[in-house]
Amino acid sequence: MSVQTTEAIVLRSTNFAESSKIVTFYSPQFGKIKGIAKGARSAKNKFGSSLEIFSHVILVFYQKKTDIQLISQCDLKNPFLNIRNDLIRTAYASYFIELINKTTEGGAQDSEQIFSLILNALTALETANVESEVLAHFFEVRLLKILGCIPVFDRCVNCGAKITEGKFSCRLGGILNNECWGADESAFQVSLGTILTIQHLQTSDFSNLSRLKLNKLSSKELKLVLESYIKYTLVKNLKSLEFLEKITQMKVPL
């Protein structure tokens, strides 16, 4: 059993036994870490509010060979208070966290990239310097890319030819050009503008996101393409996505 120290983001926190909590973290070095925080709900709780979801923390734990590690100390680095105090931002952050929690495992494969994606996304939500909708699509595209399951958007997935417009096929994992529409009857129409936006999101820096504006058509199509594909390949049921939908639809137009 060795003592490890790492920065981490809290993905999930549930009550356990009389006074403890089971907490799932994501870290750059170890990927997902699940641990028990003994006494985290007792009067003498040494963890404070560091175990709440979205928190950016410095975690100290005893690494054991079992699935559950023993959390020794957890210090708050950033509580992301602006996210917590805003229902819409909380809904977006919950979606990011749930996606990471459901698509990753322990172990260090790509964990640095995934950690930096989630930390950058939460920081952008906290400071609100990027439109949340743009940020969400950036997050989805980059996560798909890191996990190695990004669909083909720069050519026809069936024949490899260049595309000017097309239909998106979840089953084939990419865009079909006019000649190949028949290859998947469930494929749906996507405009060239949306295809180019997704290509841009695959390579663009965080710092350029604030300049990206989506028109109504792209906004609708991006949501349809990315959500259908994520549900098709990665996670069928995303509770946070239903919540996000409800919250954003309730939003009163300014």
Question: Site residues (CB under 5 A) for Zn ion?
Answer: 156, 158-159, 177, 180
Q: Among residues 23 and 198, whose Cβ is nearest to Zn ion?
A: 198
Task: Specify the residue, 183 or 247, whose C-beta has the smaller distance to Zn ion.
Answer: 183
Comparing CB distances to Zn ion, the nearer of 161 and 217 is 161
The least CB distance from residue 178 to Zn ion, in Å, is: 8
Q: Do 199 and 153 contact (CB within 8 A), yes or no?
A: yes
Question: Based on CB atoms, which residue is closest to Zn ion, 180 or 222?
Answer: 180
Report in angstroms how near the CB of residue 159 gets to Zn ion at its nearest.
3
Question: CB of residue 177 vs Zn ion: minimum separation in angstroms?
Answer: 4
Of 199, 207, 155, which Cα lies nearest the Cα of 180?
155
Nearest-approach distance from CB 157 to Zn ion, in angstroms: 8
